Amino acid sequence: MTTTTSTAPVPGTAPGVDAGTAGQAARTDALVERLFGSVLAAMDLQAVYLGDRLGYYRALAGAGPLTSTELAARTGTAERYAREWLEQQAVTGLLDAHDDDASRQDPLRRRFSLPWASVEPLTDELSPNFLVPLARFVVGGGKHVDALVQAHRTGGGVSWEQMGADAREAQAAANRPLFLGALGREHLPSIPDVDAALRRGGRVADIGCGFGWSSIGIALAYPEATVDGYDVDGPSIEAARRNAAEAGVADRVRFSVADVAAGTDGGAYDVVAAFECIHDLPDPVTVLREMRRLAGDDGFVLVMDERVAESFGAPGDEIERLMYGYSLLCCLADGMSTQPSVATGTVMRPDTLRRYAREAGFRDVEVLDVADDFFRFYRLVSG
């Protein structure tokens, strides 16, 4: 069957311009607007990164209106740069400018404040609305774009170690509100077997624990539980030990630098968990197999990973766009930095995890009824 494109003019278009051409022109215009908006948003993220790293937001929070001279003095920075940052933040709508006749004559007298609506997203490290870590992750990833370009050309990778402190610290900070909040207060209590095991003083193996917030969150929510956290990244384990000591749970939470794929000395855990790390692994099957061994016949194997769509579809929603962005900036390249690699990437769909789990000897994978906008919880079932 042959199809043709209508040549009827679209209302509002010039005579002789067909509907297909007009539609493509409108799509081009929309893309131009979108990309220009993205440029502005990228600049905003860079400015947020500066404001966080230099302590500007923390200095402004609760301080009342400050001049650029006052902000620079409080943060040990140069007044001229502080002034430009303050003005940019006011122009882009994140700060309030308090302008009057005097400040119009002399910008050094102009005052700026952090409005109440901006305090939580920009300064509250324990709030789920704290979005500064996402800005830091994006800016930090951009620092390594040359390495990513090379990886694309060669099929190599860029490891977490190469990504450096920005990526490592931003990832930990992004998950900290969840791990110290909803994980222990809502998510784990909604899984009866896990909740019961932890309440009676169960042992937990936290695989890929990073800065330890998931281990610490479990220990804080379940005072009788003990947790062993494992990660291959030495700086992350050092940070995890400091965090556990500051949280007052170092007597029940231990951290070890260990490649679980190579095996561990532990065993007979009541809960073996991997929070948002399976998709990063070059060899997830071997790690899942070791998790199965650590849980034994009676333990519970829990995986938390991204709540991506169950199958590919384009265009995708905001969650799908976010996860593909993470994958391009970091996760796929990290997974491919060790070879051989299955090269999963951030967008690990449920069927992919099921395949890995069955190859590791599990009988099935159960999607748990845990309500979270960003993450999906799975139980891996043996025997």
Q: Break the chain into its structural domains and give their ranges.
A: 35-122, 132-381
Asked, colleague to colleague, whether 35-122 and 132-381 share their fold, the answer is no
User: Quick check: 158 pLDDT over 80?
Assistant: yes
Q: Tell how strand 96-98 and strand 111-113 pair up.
A: antiparallel
Give the CATH architecture of domain 132-381: 3-Layer(aba) Sandwich (3.40)
Instruction: Copy the structure tokens of residue 124.
Output: 């509250």
Backbone angles phi, psi at 261, to 5 degrees: -60, -25
How many CB atoms neighbour CB 163 within 10 A? 24
Name the residue with tokens 């260990």. 258
Write out pLDDT tens, residues 187-199. Answer: 999 999 999 999 9
- pLDDT bin (cut points 50, 70, 90) of residue 17 is low
Write out pLDDT tens, residues 210-231. Answer: 999 999 999 999 999 999 999 9
Write the CATH number of the domain with boundaries 35-122.
1.10.10.10
Number of H helices, E strands in the chain: 18, 10
Residue 241 and residue 295 in contact, taking contact as beta carbons nearer than 8 Å: no
The three-state (H, E, C) secondary structure of 142-187, written as one string: HCCHHHHHHHHHHCCCCCHHHHCHHHHHHHHHHHHHHHHCHHHHHH
pTM: 0.88
- Residue 319 CA to residue 303 CA, distance in Å, equals 19
Q: Which of 356, 160, 192, 334 is nearest to 274 (CA)?
A: 356
Residue 177 and residue 127 in contact, taking contact as beta carbons nearer than 8 Å: yes
- Residue 59 CA to residue 66 CA, distance in Å, equals 9
Alpha helices in 187-317 (DSSP H): 192-199, 213-221, 234-247, 284-295
The three-state (H, E, C) secondary structure of 221-244, written as one string: HCCCCEEEEEECCHHHHHHHHHHH
Q: What is the pLDDT of residue 160?
A: 86
Mean pLDDT for the stretch of residues 262-267: 74
- pLDDT bin (cut points 50, 70, 90) of residue 16 is low
Write out pLDDT tens, residues 63-111. Answer: 989 999 999 999 999 999 999 999 999 999 999 999 877 777 889 999 9
Q: Which of 330, 374, 378 is nearest to 353 (CA)?
A: 378
- Residue 185 CA to residue 356 CA, distance in Å, equals 30
Name the residue with tokens 């995708």. 316
- pLDDT bin (cut points 50, 70, 90) of residue 21 is confident
Phi-psi group of 155: left, alpha or beta (phi > 0 → left; psi -120 to 50 → alpha; rest → beta): left
User: Quick check: 299 pLDDT over 80?
Assistant: yes
User: Quick check: 14 pLDDT over 80?
Assistant: no
Q: Of 20-34, 36-50, 53-67, 121-135, which gets the smallest average pLDDT?
A: 20-34
How many Cα neighbours within 13 Å face the side chain of 336?
Answer: 22
Backbone angles phi, psi at 272, to 5 degrees: -120, 120
Whole-number percent of the chain with pLDDT over 90: 84
- pLDDT bin (cut points 50, 70, 90) of residue 15 is low
Count of residues in the chain: 383
Write out pLDDT tens, residues 323-339. Answer: 999 999 999 999 999 99
